[in-house]
Each structure stands twice: as structure tokens, then as C-alpha cells.
Amino acid sequence: MISALARLLPADRRARTQLVLVVELAAVVVLALLQHYYGDKLVVVPWLSLAPLTASLVLWWAPTAVVALAAVGAVAFLSDRIGDLFTTQGWIRLAGSTALAGFAVLSSLIRTRREERIRRVTEVAAVAQATILHPVPVAVGGMTLASRYVSASADALVGGDLYDVVATPSGVRVVLGDARGKGLPAVQTAATVLSAFRAAAPRDGVSLEDLAREIEQTLQARLGAEDFVTAVLCELEPGGALTLVNCGHPQPLRLARGRAPETLGSWESPPLGLGVQPKAERFELGAGERLLLFTDGLVEARDGQGRFFALEPAADSALSPSPATTGAAGLEHALDTLMDQVREHVGGNLADDVAVLVVETPYSVSAAALSAGSAGVW
């Protein structure tokens, strides 16, 4: 019977159900035997009623019903052995045990149905959240990419932080930003920014300044008076040319082999939604160099003494290009190392959402030229 009940469950829950059911039934049998052999010296009948109640906390209704029937049967058996099954006291004892057993089964049924509803809602939310925050491809337009998103909420996959990548004929365009606030309003704001970016970024003739203005116009129609989004917009060309527009966001870091990390950008526009004044700045990235984009949750991560995370030395040790960390696998490992350093610094969970995106330029001119004609929308 135990195996038959377990087969009705998902594979990941079968072992737990079998173990708990065996333990509960064994407890009922042991208690019944103790009462039978020790008689008046030991009173365990009331404890038998606890078996279905404890089972209802972890088992679904059918195994709970099995434990409940076993407990009620044991009470009836013991009452018969002491000769009061058909007395008023025996009937009261049996009725009480039956009522508690029925309550346990009902409680288990309500709990499992609620858990199933929560599971379905969580699955739908996961799909919706994945739609908002697309997985970043490993390689776009000759660039190698790696990204991480860590939500401060254990119940959410995404929050107000955002990023996305679009490949165009002129180069790879990237947005990374942070919507003010938390919870569903911040998620909705992030979704608005990403939708506007995805619609405008691939269009011909739209500069990064134009792109920032279009996102601003979309936001102003939907945001409250005090809402805003800090963001960085980038365009990376196959040859290494970088165009950058910063809208009130932490400056990106440039990482080159044998050189200290360098912050890029001196012009900082107001955030999106607060009257953005975009101004493009241009830089040249060498072959195999890396660009680190991040939200303020990374640099504002604090340890137990309130000290901020030292990003530049951490990025230098974890992300600086080297022969051992080239390519997609090396970049993923390097970014994992950086995120491990952040978690170690804070001692566990982060207090704020963190979004990180790293772009690595091609290591050779031939790779850049080959990728120039393979742009598409991601």
C-alpha cells in the first residue's frame, strides 16, 4: 500500500512520503503494543490520536487517511482488549479518536490543495518573470557575455533591476538599469523599460541618445511623479569602439589584462523618468578586454560592520582577462567568483537586488569581422 500511494506522487516527494508514512505507522503499532502489554501501568491511547495530526503536517490526504485509520483501529483494538469498547467510556474514546483523525485528514487535504495552488501560481510567475528578463545569450555579434541576477527576495526571480542585449548591424546594444522601489511596481517599471528598449534599439537611425529619449517618453506615460530608473546604455562595435550613455547609474568598469580597473564615463544624465539629458561618450576597448555593468546593489552590499563591498579590487582579481579565463566558460567562472566574493562579504543573502553583466570583446580582428555580418535581435 505504501508503494502504491507513493507512486501517485512526483518522484522528488516519494521517498519522503514513504519514510514519514512508515515512521507514523510504526509509531502507532509500537504504542498499541506498549498499551497492550503494560495495561494499566501505561496509558498511551491519547497519544495514538496525535499520529494522524502529525502526519497531516507533512503528508497529503491519502497517506494521512491511512495513518488515521491505523490509529482509530488501534484505539478500537485496545478498547476491546480492556473490555470497554461497547461502554459509554469506550464509545467516547473511540469517537474522540475518530473526530481527531477526520480533522487530520481534512487539514491535510486543505493544506495540500493550498500548496498546489501556490505551486501553480509560482510556475506562472516564473514564466512571466522569465519573459520580462530574458536569458542573455553566451555570444552576440562577436562579443562574449555573462550575466547574473540575484533577487533580494527569496520568493522572486526578478525585481526592479534589469538588463538586456540586442544585436544590430552596427553593433551590440546593451541596457542595464535599476528601477526605483521594490516589489511588483518595480517589476512593472523594469518591464516597461525593457519593452521600450527592445522595440527601439534595433531600429535604423536610432542613436543611443535617441534610445534614451524614447525610453523616457514611454516611462513618463506610466510612471508616478517620484518614480525613475537609473540605467546605462551601451553600444559595442566589433572593432572595439564603445559608445556609452549614462542616466544616473553607477559607472561601468573597464577591465584589461595587466591594468587596474578603470571607470568609464564622466557625463551623468538625470535618471530616466526625471528629465533625461543623454550625452554619448566614446571609448576604444582593446581585444579581449571586458566591460562590467552592474547595479548599485553590488557596490552597496555591506558586511556585518557596515563596510561596503570593494568592487574594484574584487573585479580586478576575479574578472581581469587572462589566458585561463578567456571564452564563455572562463567568463562564467570568473563572474561566479565575483558573486561568491559578494556573498562572502555580506555573510549570506544580499539586502538588495543585484544585476551584473560582463561583455568581453573579441580576441582577434578576424573574429570581429566574422561576427559583424551575423547581427540579429535577441
Answer with the residue of higher pLDDT: 376 or 157: 157
Q: Where does the pLDDT of residue 50 fall: very low under 50, low under 70, confident under 90, or very high at 90 and above?
A: confident
Q: Sorting pLDDT into bands at 50, 70 and 90, what band is 369? A: very low
Query: CATH 3.60.40.10 region(s) of the chain?
Result: 133-372
Which residues partner with 290 through β-bridges?
255, 360
**376 — pLDDT class (breaks 50, 70, 90):** very low
pLDDT at 148 over 80: yes
Write the CA distances from 189 to 211, 228, 274, integer angstroms: 17, 8, 14
> What average pLDDT score do residues 80-102 get?
77
Read off the DSSP letter of residue 264. -
Cell numbers for 83, please give them: 473490555
The pLDDT-based confidence of 306 (bands split at 50, 70, 90) is confident
> CB within 8 A of 286, min separation 6: which ones?
240, 256, 361
Q: Give the tens place of pLDDT for each residue, 233-286.
A: 999 998 889 999 999 999 999 998 888 899 998 887 888 888 888 899 999 998
Q: Is residue 174 predicted with pLDDT exceeding 90? A: yes
Whole-number Å distance between alpha carbons of 108 and 61: 5
- The answer to whether 77 and 26 are in contact (CB under 8 A) is no
8 A C-beta contact, residue 228 and residue 272: yes
> In this structure, which amino acid lies at residue 226?
E
The predicted model gives 13-40 an average pLDDT of: 65
Whole-angstrom distance, CA of residue 25 vs CA of residue 55: 10
Residue 129: its pLDDT value, please?
66
292: pLDDT strictly greater than 90: yes
Contact at 8 Å (CB) between 139 and 329? no
The rounded mean pLDDT for the chain is 80
Q: Which of 277, 272, 290, 274 is nearest to 229 (CA)?
A: 272
Is residue 39's pLDDT more than 70?
Answer: no
Residue 332 has which C-alpha cell?
A: 562564467
Top-confidence range, 23-27, 70-74, 310-314? 310-314
Domain range 133-372, CATH architecture: 4-Layer Sandwich (3.60)
